[in-house]
Structure 1
Amino acid sequence: MMNALPTPLMAICLALVVSTATAADPRSTDADAREVQKVAAATTSEKAAASEWVTIIGKEGASGVTGLGGNLVECQGVKIADDASHLKTIPGVGVVAASRKFAYGDDNNLNSVEHFADCEVVLEFVLGEGCNSGVKLQGRYEIQLYDSWGKEALSGVECGGVYPHWVSAKRGIKYIDEGVAPLRNASKKPGEWQTLRIVFQAPRFNSEGKKVENARFLKVTLNGELVQRDVEVDSPTGNTTDPLPEVEKGPLYLQMDHGAVAFRNVRVKPL
């Protein structure tokens, strides 16, 4: 009877046997290597895709904004108040909310830290009854957010519309065009979370800084339904008497001074 090999020596012998067997079947080695490479490539691709998105408001909070005004609340969630034009906030992080309408002004709005040219924007929002908000690409070109639940007559001031140009009037403002109405009313009820997705093409400039191509909303969906397709915007929407100059890159702007509104899961992917 052969004496048993010491345990360390036995381990070495087994390793040599496995190594020899693998070398004897190179096809197995190649297949294993290809499978490892395939998994590694898929993992790298997933990580790269995830890293392309810039988080403005995420589960960890509003890390991508320049600051929160005193009237804005960072919270975990919101629900409609007894006065349906207001929102109640739930303590925590992940959501930025304006519980009611505040005075107009930049202190009550949000700007992203990073500036973007061509990009895709995905976000969720909720509105109080009768409330108004907006998402401005480069701080200049606005997709309107509004309580448009159940409305049949649509214009650029309804949810999903490209906002009109206007001038100051004795009482408020006067629209000088109609903007671009959404293709359909895809709005949900006040107090319900809604999803907006925008694919935006920034204006183009030549080497001398002259604009040679207008900005475009290539595609906008609201709650999964197409509301805008390939809409050219020849100048910043809103006030035509004092418009911001058009630029190659600008911040994502979330309007929060026109009524009760909250945002969450706000992300931008440069294209």
Structure 2
Amino acid sequence: MKLNSTILTTVLLAGISTASVFAQAKHEDTEFYTPVPKEVKPGKTVSEAPSDAIILFDGKNLSEWVTTEDRNKPAQWTVANGLLTVDKKAGNIETKKAFGNYQLHLEWKVPANITGEGQGRGNSGIFLASIGKGDLGYELQVLDNNNNPTYTNGMAGSIYKQTTPLVNPSRKPGEWQVYDIVWTAPVFNTDSTLKSPAAVTVFLNGVLVQNNFILKGPTQYIGEAAYRKAHGNSPIKLQSHGDKSEPLSFRNIWVREL
């Protein structure tokens, strides 16, 4: 089979042209020097807040928190010995400041003598964006799941009622658990329709348990989650769950706005 001379000539010329372009290219062509990233001094350990973090709890007070049911009321949980302990009679607490996208570090511990089972064993939650009173928002579950079976989209490391964690790296009761979270907030159009959904990446005790999971909407205890109402930047909320087990504690909470 003979190649058409015009096609052959075109192919040859294209090859010569491409070779010429590569011959003229320089490695500098794909290097850029601006913008220069801002310098951030890291903490001495991975748990210590970096220089640009907002300290939400440093073991001293709850100056960055309010009561969810009445945002004019200071948070009423117990602060002692550098720890923040849930007061189940005082209700949920949330940050004074509202956030969009962020990196969050938080450490939590259920008591060594924890009782109960399933969802009634050291239950709390981190609402990555609080969008109203009570348990409204997008919840990352806090629960003792060391030898404590429950529904898998309700265990520690799950986005509650939406997805299970990739693995279960839970430590024993009485030991500190560490969450490192990257939150991408949902974005809404001017007509309140959803433009882009929320997404979250979560490490529990240094182990990846959520890998850029796309949320279906705010947490729904009953029924399917969906984006039913538009909202902007939102506080971060900690849950005072109604289970009867001994209350858990938090420490070393900081956030970096992205």
Aligned amino acid, residue 80 of structure 2 = C
1:144 is matched with which residue: 141, 144, 169? Answer: 141
Alpha-carbon distance in 2 for matches of 1:214, 1:74? 36
2:102 counterpart of 1:119 = yes
Match of 2:215 among 207, 224, 233: 233
Distance 2:159 2:213 in 1: 9
Which consecutive unaligned segments of at least 5 residues does structure 1 have? 1-42, 77-93, 165-178
Distance 1:238 1:75 in 2: 33
What residue number does 2:180 align with?
197
Name the counterpart of 1:261. 248
Q: CA deviation at 1:151?
A: 4.9
Asked if 2 retains the 8 angstrom alpha-carbon contact of 1:236 and 1:246, the reply is no
Contact kept in structure 2, 1:137 and 1:252, CA below 8 Å: yes
Alpha-carbon spacing, 1:184–1:153, altered in 2? closer, same or farther (3 Å): farther
- CA distance in structure 1 between the aligned counterparts of 2:40 and 2:210, rounded to whole angstroms: 30
Give the Cα separation in 2 of the matches to 1:240 and 1:150.
Answer: 26
State the 1:155 CA deviation. 0.9
Q: State how 1:36-115 maps to structure 2 within 5 Å.
A: 45-46=40-41, 50-66=50-66, 67-69=74-76, 72-76=77-81, 94-98=82-86, 102=88, 107-115=90-98
Contact 1:154 1:185 in 2 (8 A): no
Q: Quick check: 206-215 or 196-205, which moved more? A: 206-215
User: Which of 162, 183, 189 matches 2:166?
Assistant: 183
Paired residues of 1:152 and 1:185 also in contact (CA < 8 A)? no
CA-CA distance at 1:60 after TM superposition: 3.2
Unaligned ranges ≥5, structure 2 = 1-37, 43-48, 67-73, 115-120, 131-136
> CA separation of 1:185/1:154 partners in 2, compared to 1, >3 Å: closer, same or farther?
farther
Q: Is 1:251–2:235 an aligned residue pair?
A: yes
- 1:255 Cα deviation from its structure 2 partner: 1.0
CA contact (8 A) 2:105 2:180 kept: yes
**How far apart in 2 are the matches of 1:147 and 1:44?**
38
In 2, distance between residues paired with 1:114 and 1:152? 36
Aligned to 1:156, what secondary structure does the other structure show? helix
The answer as to whether partners of 1:198 and 1:220 remain within 8 angstroms in 2 is yes
Please report the TM-score for the alignment, with normalisation by the length of structure 1: 0.63
Looking at structure 1, the residues matched to 241 and 148 of structure 2 have their Cα atoms a distance apart, in angstroms, of 23
Q: Bigger radius of gyration, 1 or 2? A: 1
Tell me how far apart the structure 2 counterparts of residues 180 and 45 of structure 1 sit (CA, whole Å): 34
Q: How big is the alpha-carbon RMSD for the aligned residues of Structure 1 and Structure 2?
A: 2.9
| SS of residue matched to 1:159 | coil
- 4+ aligned runs moved over 6 Å, structure 1: 241-244
Structure 1 equivalent of residue 33 of structure 2: none
CA separation in 2, counterparts of 1:158 and 1:150? Answer: 11
Partner SS state of residue 153, structure 2: coil
Q: What is the CA deviation profile of residues 116-136 of structure 1, one whole-angstrom value per residue up to 9, with x for unaligned ones?
A: 011111010011322111101
Do the aligned partners of residues 193 and 203 (structure 1) sit closer, same or farther apart at CA in structure 2, a change above 3 Å counting? same
Deviation string 1:12-51 (CA, Å, 9 cap, x unpaired) is: xxxxxxxxxxxxxxxxxxxxxxxxxxxxxxx97439x945
Question: Residue 159 of structure 2 aligns with which residue?
Answer: 162
Letter in 2 for 1:131: G
Q: 1:222 to 1:207 in 2, by over 3 A?
A: same
